[in-house]
Chain A
Amino acid sequence: MISSDKARLRQAWVAVGVMALALVLAVGAYDISSEAGYAGIGPNFLPWLVSAVLAACALAMLWEVRHGGFRGMLPPESDTPMYLPGFVWVSAGMLLNATLLTSIGFILSCTLCYVFAVRGLRNAGAPPEYRLRRWLVDALTGAAIAAPVYWIFTKLLAINLPGLTATGWL
C-alpha cells in the first residue's frame, strides 16, 4: 500500500525519533565502562549494539518512507482527525494527578484526574457542555471509585498510598 505524502511525512518523523533515540543511546554508551573480564564484552556492549541496530532500523524506515511509505501498514482504525482539546483534558488530569498526589492525597488527586479525563473523553464524542451538575456528578463518581480503591489498598493490603490526613481514610 502506498501512503499519502502527509502520511509519509509523519512516518519520516517516526524514523527521525528512532534515530534520535539511537543517538542518545550512543552518547550514553560512551560513559559506560568497557571492562570486559573473561567474557570479552563489558557492560557497554549491549548499549552500543542496541544503539547501532536502532540507527539501522531508522535508516531502513527512512528508505521505506522514500519508496512509498512503511511496508504492510494496516489502515488506521479510525480516519477521524485528532481531537486535541480532549487530549489536553486527559493529559492535564494525568499530569495534575502526578504532581498533586503526595500533597492532596490519593482520593482527591485521583478524583481530579477522573473529572478531567471524563470531561475530555465525553467532549470527544458529544458537543461540550459545562453545567455545574455534570461536574458534581463526575466528581462524586470519581470519588466513589477512588475512595474504595484507596481503602482496599491501604487498609486491606497495607500498601502505602498518600492520604490528605493521617487517618488512612481520606
Chain B
Amino acid sequence: MDLWNQLMGGFATAGTPLNLMWAFIGCALGTAVGVLPGIGPAVAVAMLLPITSQVDMTASMIFFAGIYYGAMYGGSTTSILLNTPGETGSMVTAMEGNRMAKNGRAGAALATAAIGSFVAGTIATVLVTLFAPVMANFAVRLGPPEYFCLMLLAFTTVSSVLGQSTLRGLTALFMGLAAGLIGMDQITGQVRYTGGVTELMDGIEIVLVAVGLFAVAEALHAVLFEGKTVETQNPMSHVNMSKGEWRRSWPAWLRGTLLGFPFGTIPAGGTEIPTYLSYGLERKLSRHKGEFGTTGAIEGVAGPEAANNAAVTGTLVPLLTLGIPTSTTAAILLGAFQNYGIQPGPQLFETSSTLVWALIASLYIGNVMLLILNLPLVGLWVKLLKIPKPQLYAGILIFATVGVYGMRQSSFDLLLLYGIGVLGVVLRRFDIPTAPVIVGMILGPLAEAQLRNALSIGEGRWSIFLERPMSLSLLAVVAAVLVLPKVLAHWSRARTQGAASRP
C-alpha cells in the first residue's frame, strides 16, 4: 500500500504540465537521436548536461530519462530501414528487421518493434517499481568492501564479457581508470596528473570524454573512412500487423522482457547479451525457422527489441539503489545526479523519494508517449534520415561544442575534445571497446575511495574482502565471470574436435 501511495505521489509530481512537457520533449528528442546515425542517447544526455545548472532537478531527470528511453525506440527505425544500428542494442533488430523491410514488410517490423518496446518498457517499469525499493533496503546493509566488490564486478563484466577480446577490453578499462585519476584525490586532496594545468585540477569531465569518444569520433571516422559509402533505404509500408503477426509477436515480447530485465539490473553491462540471447531463443522456438536469415522473421525483431528495452529500464535499478551505472548512458545520468549534489545509492529512496518516484512514474508516462510518437508518427522520423551526412555531422559538432563548453566555459576543454575524438577513431579502428573507458572513468574514483575505506575498516588487511560473506560471494562471481567463459569455450572446442576426430 505504501508502495502504491508513493507511486501515486510520483504520478502527481511527474504529471504537472511542466514535467509532462519535459517528458514529451525528452521522448521526442530521444526518438530523433535514436533515428539519426552518429548520435546516441549517451551523447545526447551528455551534450545537454549543462541544463542541470538551471532546470529543476526532477524536470531534468525526467527529461534525460525520456531521451534514454526514446533513443531505444528510435534506434529500431534506423536498424530496420537502413540496416545501420545506431545503438549496440539494435544490432540484432537490424538482422531480421532489415530483411523484413527488404521484403516489403517494413511496417510490420516497425510495429512489432514499437509495440514490443512499449510492452517490455511497461513491464520492466512495473518490475523496477516493485524491486528497486527492496533492493535499496538490502543495499543499506552493504559496506565499503561490498561496494568495492560490486564495482570490481562491473569492471570485470564490462571489459571481459563485452567486445571481442578481454585484453582490449581491459586496456580500455584501464585507460578509463587512468583518465579518472586526473585531478584531486577524493580522500587526501592530493593533486594527480594535472601537469600544472589548472583546468585539470577538477579532473576531466565525463561529458567531454563521452562526446569526444562518440560524437566527435563518429564525425572524424565518417570523414576518414565513410565518404564513399552509399546507403540505401528500404521502402516504408503501412505500419500495422496482421493477426498472425500479433500471434507470433506477443510471446516473443514477453520472453524478451524476461530475458532483458535481469541483465539490466546486474552489473553485466549493456544490452548486447540479452538481445543476442533473445534472438537465439526465438530462432530456436520459432515454427518459421526458414524465415530467419532469409525473408526475415518477426519473432527475431520482437524478442530482441523487447529484451533491449527491458534491459535499459533494468539499468535504473543498480543506478538508483547502488549508484552503480551498468551502461554508458546510465553513467552519464549518474553525472547528472552528481551535478545536483546527489549521490544515488540506497539512501536515495529516503532522501530524494519525490525525485525517485517521479522518475519512475515518468517512465510509465514516457512509454505511452513513445508509443504514440513511434507508431502513427513514424513517417515523420523517417524524414530525418534524409538529412545529408555532411550537414548532420557538422551540425553535431556545434552541439558538441555547446555541451562541452557549457559545462566549464573552458576553451582548453574544446582542444581536449578534439584529442579525445582522435583517440576514439583509433579505438574504433582497432576494435577496442569504448564503453569500458567511460565506466572506468566514472567508477574508478568511486571504486578507489571504497577500496581505501574498506582497507581502513580492516586496518590495512586485504583479507577484509574474504571475511565478509557478501564480498566473498561477489569475489567468487568475479572469478567465475573471468574464468567460466574461457572454460566453456575450451570445453566446446574440445567437444567439437572430439566429434570431428571420431570415425
B328 to chain A, nearest CB (A): 19
B394 at the interface (CB under 8 A from A): yes
Q: Which A residues are closer than 8 A to B by beta carbons?
A: 10-11, 14, 17-18, 21, 25, 28, 32-33, 35-43, 45-47, 50, 53-54, 57-58, 60-61, 64, 70-74, 76-78, 80, 82-84, 86-87, 89-91, 93-95, 97-99, 101-102, 106, 109-110, 113-114, 117-118, 120-125, 141-142, 145-146, 149-150, 153, 157-162
Give A159 to B432 CA distance when docked, in angstroms.
35
**Contact A32 B223, beta carbon cutoff 8 Å:** no
Residues of B158-190 contacting chain A, CB below 8 A: 164-165, 167-168, 170-171, 174-175, 177-178, 181, 185, 187-188, 190
B-chain residues with CB within 8 Å of residue A77 when the two chains form the complex: 225-226
Give A91 to B192 CA distance when docked, in angstroms.
30
B459 at the interface (CB under 8 A from A): yes
Give A138 to B401 CA distance when docked, in angstroms.
18
Known: A72-B164, A153-B402. 5 other contacts (CB 8 A): A32-B190, A32-B192, A46-B181, A57-B171, A94-B418
How many residues of B are in contact with the other chain, CB < 8 A?
A: 68
Partner of B405, one of A53, A86, A161: A161
**Contact A98 B170, beta carbon cutoff 8 Å:** no
**Contact A41 B455, beta carbon cutoff 8 Å:** yes
Give A94 to B220 CA distance when docked, in angstroms.
11
**Contact A54 B411, beta carbon cutoff 8 Å:** no
**Contact B170 A57, beta carbon cutoff 8 Å:** yes
Give A110 to B389 CA distance when docked, in angstroms.
18
A-chain residues with CB within 8 Å of residue B227 when the two chains form the complex: 80, 83, 86, 121, 123-125
A121 to chain B, nearest CB (A): 4
**Contact B219 A90, beta carbon cutoff 8 Å:** yes
**Contact A64 B175, beta carbon cutoff 8 Å:** no
How many A-B contacts at CB < 8 Å in the complex? Answer: 225
A85 to chain B, nearest CB (A): 9
**30 A-B pairs, CB-CB below 8 angstroms?**
A21-B178, A25-B181, A41-B451, A42-B188, A43-B188, A43-B190, A45-B452, A47-B181, A50-B177, A54-B171, A54-B178, A57-B174, A71-B164, A71-B167, A80-B226, A90-B220, A90-B223, A91-B220, A97-B414, A106-B401, A113-B398, A117-B393, A120-B223, A121-B222, A122-B390, A124-B223, A124-B224, A141-B391, A158-B54, A159-B54
**Contact A117 B165, beta carbon cutoff 8 Å:** no
**Contact B175 A125, beta carbon cutoff 8 Å:** no
**Contact B229 A78, beta carbon cutoff 8 Å:** yes
B499 at the interface (CB under 8 A from A): no
